[in-house]
């Protein structure tokens, strides 16, 4: 009797268990990725423990269907299952759906993809690229509207450069170290958000496979690097909940490669191994801060860089695409250098988004490849030494679009970073300070369409590749075609700003000064062969530290001083500064100059006249005045004001923040004072022609100004 009771109980429990399993239903997916010519990978999520398989067929009726091997969705993995499928036929359209506990689950939206061609197959095809998405749910009504438009493209696949979601941090106001990925359950929640079937991207994912690497916002934190906690959880989340390609053998990142016919795509990981961005600066927190990245400052790290260089050298593909979360274009370094110069003389500059601190802008730009010149040089040198043709960059992160043919970017580059976020207008910001480094269009300063956009890449066999930035309205914002055989130039440069405005210069009889920066972004020294003012002799130019011709070593920079002498009031002048170089793509670069004289307006902060210094009225506040003459040779006067007796120290720094000379004025009475600098350094040696910063420090007050020494 007891035996029958136990048997009956076991039977009932079995029925209840099976019923519970059968009751599970699909919450997310299936999502397809990791596609090759004969295999694919899928992720599926259910609302409980279940047996998961994928059913595939070559027609939407599933009349010739076959079912993959089974995997399990379990609670310890948030009920995700990652299902591999093998033995596919090349270049075949497959329809697919999930199978839960042996029951096929119809899709609300038909889901399909086309397997890739055999490796090496030469064909014409299109794929899409982009990054940065998922606005808050209370955003404008057009949230996600770009994805159905992308889904209408007959594209082979999508490369996603990261920032798929914006979890960033949790409770950061009270605990800045509480990064979201420290709690693995938050990473799991992020993936549920990424694949949310109610979000319009699901329509796109139903039409094509996706390849992906995380960037900062879906990795750990904004502008994160390899030192941030939570990295292990970010890597684990990608490995368990994304249908990706096999990662490299290294365990400390998610970089990997895949092939489609005659192209190779290298998905680099810009976060897991990078050095902190602020390591590129010295003197932060002081008025002598400077941008000074060292030879070991790396965005990829040695391990990943070695992998990338080796894979590029071994690649037999006609086209090699490097898919990077952050922008590559080395020309952006001009933005860093110019804003660092401005930081020493002003607290804010005008941008398309209003006033901004120059140092904040420079630090923001330091998140891109341009702030890691050693890695740029290492990659470029490897490509040239090994004659690796047709390397193209696809990048994101910027919430903005831009295309360059290699003139500034070394390699042709398409930046496609505004899938579904408010446009940052980064390209327009650069152009507003005279840095024009995307010469083939995009969200430029004169662009009226600052909405969302994506990148479209069309491969024309082995002949050429067309890069297009496409707006959500269907318009092409920029386009460039790369012909077969492309190799970067060994000598490359960016010169900025492209426009200098000296409007309303008040110091009639004294030249006004502005600076331009020349950056050698190639692997060989750049020669500046000629500097010519065309159009108006009220302007002149001086190379700082040498005479024309002069060389700028690889990854180094040089400054030009452009001087304007208005001569009279209310007269306008214009000219062009033509800079001739040995850079083949930019052998001549023109800087547009304009200026006008204005009636001087007295200002307590700009006094240089002797009679003002002789005034017996006591100053109301501490102030460091502009030196005179400026530019100067061999000496200059430095006036300053004291409202009361105080100890005064004045220090001279070069543009890299190095101390050149200290003038200890000692205890000075209230009133007007003048000291002088004879152009010598602390060792009594003549300082070279250059811009210098002079700084006064006294009793809780400090101020810095800029001056120019011309030998």
Give the pLDDT confidence of 260-282 residue by residue, as tens digits: 999 999 999 999 999 999 999 98
Inter-residue contact 562 to 539 (CB < 8 Å): yes
Whether the pLDDT of residue 366 is over 90: the answer is yes
Please report which helix (H) or strand (E) contains residue 590, including its range.
strand 588-597
- Give CA–CA dist 176/190, Å, rounded: 20
Same domain, 508 and 469: no
As a whole number, mean pLDDT of residues 488-503 equals: 93
Whether the pLDDT of residue 496 is over 90: the answer is yes
Strands 453-460 and 464-471: antiparallel
Q: Which of 465, 483, 501 represents a domain boundary (last residue)?
A: 483
Same domain, 75 and 193: no
The b-or-e profile of 39-62 (16+ CB within 10 A means b, else e) is ebbbbbbbeeebbbbbbbbeeeeb
Give the pLDDT confidence of 35-89 residue by residue, as tens digits: 999 999 999 999 999 999 999 999 999 999 999 999 999 999 999 999 999 999 9
DSSP label of 274: P
Band (pLDDT 50/70/90 cuts) for residue 521 is very high
Among residues 618, 707, 695, the alpha carbon closest in space to that of 649 is found at 695
Same domain, 475 and 577: no
Residue span of the structural domain in which 528 resides: 493-597
Q: How far is CA 180 from CA 26, 172, 222, 272, in A?
A: 26, 9, 11, 16
Whether the pLDDT of residue 506 is over 80: the answer is no
Inter-residue contact 125 to 463 (CB < 8 Å): no
- Give CA–CA dist 551/541, Å, rounded: 17
Q: Is residue 603 part of a domain?
A: no
Whether the pLDDT of residue 311 is over 80: the answer is yes
Q: Which of 66, 85, 114 represents a domain boundary (last residue)?
A: 114
Same domain, 181 and 95: no
**Reduced DSSP (H G I as helix, E B as strand, rest coil) percent helix, strand, coil of the chain, to 5:** 20, 35, 45
- Residue with structure tokens 């950056």? 519
- How many structural domains does the chain have? 4
- Residue with structure tokens 């599970």? 24
Same domain, 394 and 465: yes
3-state SS, one letter per residue, for 301-366: HHHHHHHHHHHHHHCCCCEEEEEECCCCCHHHHHHHHHHHHHHCCCCCEEECCEEECHHHHHHHHC
Which residues make beta-bridge pairs with 690?
A: 709
Same domain, 184 and 309: yes
Q: DSSP string covering 184-253, please?
A: HHHHHHHHHHHT-TTSTHHHHHTTS-EEE---STTTSSTT--TTSTTHHHHHHHHHHHS--PPPPS-SS-
- Residue with structure tokens 């197959």? 121
Whether the pLDDT of residue 116 is over 60: the answer is yes
Q: Is residue 194 part of a domain?
A: yes
Same domain, 329 and 198: yes
Instruction: Please give the share of the chain, as a percent, with pLDDT higher than 90.
Output: 64
Inter-residue contact 115 to 87 (CB < 8 Å): no
Whether the pLDDT of residue 608 is over 60: the answer is no
Give the pLDDT confidence of 435-482 residue by residue, as tens digits: 999 999 999 988 888 899 999 999 999 999 999 999 988 899 999 999
Lowest mean pLDDT among 82-91, 93-102, 134-143: 134-143
Tokens of residue 576, six digits? 């062009």
Q: Is residue 268 part of a domain?
A: yes
Q: Where residue 28 sits, what CATH number does that domain have?
A: 2.60.40.380
Same domain, 234 and 349: yes
- Give CA–CA dist 355/359, Å, rounded: 12
Instruction: Please give the share of the chain, as a percent, with pLDDT higher than 70.
Output: 90
What are the strands of the beta sheet with 539-543, ordered from one edge? 493-496, 512-520, 557-564, 539-543
Q: Where residue 633 sits, what CATH number does that domain have?
A: 2.60.40.4070
Q: Is residue 369 part of a domain?
A: yes
Select the more confidently predicted residue: 413 or 357. 413
Q: Is residue 362 part of a domain?
A: yes
Question: How many angstroms from the chain centroid is the CA of residue 30?
Answer: 32
Q: Is residue 19 part of a domain?
A: yes
Q: What does the pLDDT read at residue 8?
A: 47
- Residue with structure tokens 């831009």? 402
**Alpha helices, DSSP H only, in 544-685?**
610-613
Q: What does the pLDDT read at residue 274?
A: 97
Same domain, 532 and 552: yes
Q: What does the pLDDT read at residue 138?
A: 43
Q: Which of 60, 91, 114 represents a domain boundary (last residue)?
A: 114
Give the pLDDT confidence of 549-567 residue by residue, as tens digits: 999 999 999 989 898 888 7
Q: What does the pLDDT read at residue 611?
A: 39
Q: What does the pLDDT read at residue 22?
A: 44
Band (pLDDT 50/70/90 cuts) for residue 711 is low
Instruction: Determine phi and psi for 105, rounding to 5 degrees.
Output: -110, 110
Same domain, 186 and 144: yes
Q: Is residue 605 part of a domain?
A: no
Q: What does the pLDDT read at residue 508?
A: 67
Q: Where residue 389 sits, what CATH number does that domain have?
A: 3.60.21.70
Q: What does the pLDDT read at residue 136?
A: 54
Please provide the distance, in angstroms rounded to a whole number, between the alpha carbons at the two ends of the chain: 112
Band (pLDDT 50/70/90 cuts) for residue 17 is very low
The b-or-e profile of 504-522 (16+ CB within 10 A means b, else e) is ebbbeebbbbbbbbbbbbb
Q: Is residue 604 part of a domain?
A: no
Band (pLDDT 50/70/90 cuts) for residue 545 is low
Same domain, 227 and 299: yes
Q: How far is CA 683 from CA 655, 679, 680, in A?
A: 19, 11, 8
Q: What does the pLDDT read at residue 139?
A: 47
Same domain, 300 and 327: yes
């Amino acid at each position: 009797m007891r035996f029958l009771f136990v048997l009956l109980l076991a039977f009932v429990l079995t029925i209840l268990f099976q019923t519970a399993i059968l009751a599970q239903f699909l919450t997310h997916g299936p999502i397809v990725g990791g596609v090759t010519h004969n295999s694919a990978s899928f992720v599926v999520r259910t609302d409980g423990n279940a047996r998961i398989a994928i059913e595939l067929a070559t027609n939407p009726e599933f009349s010739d269907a076959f079912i993959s091997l089974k995997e399990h969705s379990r609670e310890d993995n948030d009920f995700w299952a990652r299902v591999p499928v093998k033995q596919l036929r090349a270049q075949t359209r497959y329809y697919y759906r999930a199978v839960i506990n042996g029951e096929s689950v119809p899709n609300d939206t038909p889901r399909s993809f086309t397997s890739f061609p055999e490796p090496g197959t030469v064909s014409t095809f299109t794929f899409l690229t982009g990054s940065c998405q998922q606005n808050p749910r209370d955003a404008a009504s057009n949230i996600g509207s770009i994805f159905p438009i992308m889904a209408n493209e007959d594209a082979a696949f999508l490369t996603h450069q990261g920032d798929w979601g914006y979890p960033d941090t949790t409770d950061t106001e009270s605990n800045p170290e509480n990064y979201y990925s420290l709690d693995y359950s938050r990473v799991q929640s992020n993936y549920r958000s990424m694949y949310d079937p109610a979000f319009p991207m699901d329509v796109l994912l139903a039409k094509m496979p996706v390849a992906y690497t995380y960037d900062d916002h879906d990795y750990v934190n904004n502008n994160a690097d390899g030192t941030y906690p939570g990295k292990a959880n970010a890597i684990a989340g990608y490995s368990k909940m994304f249908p990706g390609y096999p990662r490299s053998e290294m365990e400390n990142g998610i970089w990997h490669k895949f092939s489609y016919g005659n192209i190779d795509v290298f998905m680099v990981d810009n976060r897991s191994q990078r050095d902190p961005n602020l390591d590129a600066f010295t003197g932060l927190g002081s008025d002598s801060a400077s941008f000074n990245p060292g030879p070991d400052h790396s965005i990829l790290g040695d391990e990943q860089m070695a992998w990338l260089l080796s894979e590029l050298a071994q690649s037999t593909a006609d086209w090699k695409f490097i898919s990077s979360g952050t922008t590559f274009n080395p020309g952006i370094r001009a933005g860093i250098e110019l804003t660092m110069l401005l930081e020493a003389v002003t607290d804010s500059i005008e941008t398309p988004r209003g006033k901004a601190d120059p140092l904040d802008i420079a630090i923001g730009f330091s998140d891109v490849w341009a702030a890691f010149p050693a890695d740029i040089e290492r990659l470029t040198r490897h490509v040239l030494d090994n004659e690796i043709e047709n390397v193209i960059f696809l990048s994101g992160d910027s919430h903005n679009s831009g295309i360059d043919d290699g003139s500034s970017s070394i390699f042709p580059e398409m930046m496609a970073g505004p899938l579904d976020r408010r446009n940052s207008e980064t390209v327009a910001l650069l152009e507003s300070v005279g840095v024009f480094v995307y010469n083939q269009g995009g969200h430029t300063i004169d662009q009226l369409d600052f909405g969302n956009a994506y990148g479209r890449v069309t491969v024309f066999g082995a002949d050429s590749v067309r890069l297009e930035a496409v707006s959500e309205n269907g318009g092409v914002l920029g386009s460039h075609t790369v012909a077969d055989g492309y190799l970067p130039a060994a000598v490359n440069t960016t010169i900025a700003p492209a426009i200098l405005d000296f409007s309303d210069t008040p110091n009639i009889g004294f030249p006004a000064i502005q600076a331009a920066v020349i950056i050698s972004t190639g692997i060989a020294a750049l020669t500046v062969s000629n500097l010519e003012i065309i159009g108006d002799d009220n302007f002149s130019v001086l190379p700082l530290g040498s005479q024309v011709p002069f060389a700028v070593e690889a990854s180094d920079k040089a400054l030009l001083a452009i001087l304007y002498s208005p001569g009279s009031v209310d007269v306008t002048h214009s000219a062009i500064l033509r800079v001739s170089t040995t850079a083949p793509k930019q052998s001549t670069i023109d800087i547009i100059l304009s200026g006008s004289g204005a009636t001087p307006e007295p200002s307590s902060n700009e006094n240089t006249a002797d009679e003002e210094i002789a005034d017996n009225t006591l100053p109301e506040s501490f102030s460091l005045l502009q030196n005179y003459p400026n530019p100067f040779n061999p000496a200059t006067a430095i006036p300053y004001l004291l409202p009361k007796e105080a100890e005064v120290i004045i220090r001279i720094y070069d543009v890299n923040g190095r101390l050149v000379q200290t003038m200890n004025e000692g205890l000075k009475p209230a009133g007007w004072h003048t000291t002088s600098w004879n152009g010598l350094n602390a060792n009594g040696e003549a300082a070279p022609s250059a811009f210098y910063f002079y700084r006064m420090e006294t009793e809780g007050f400090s101020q810095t100004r800029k001056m120019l020494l011309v030998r």
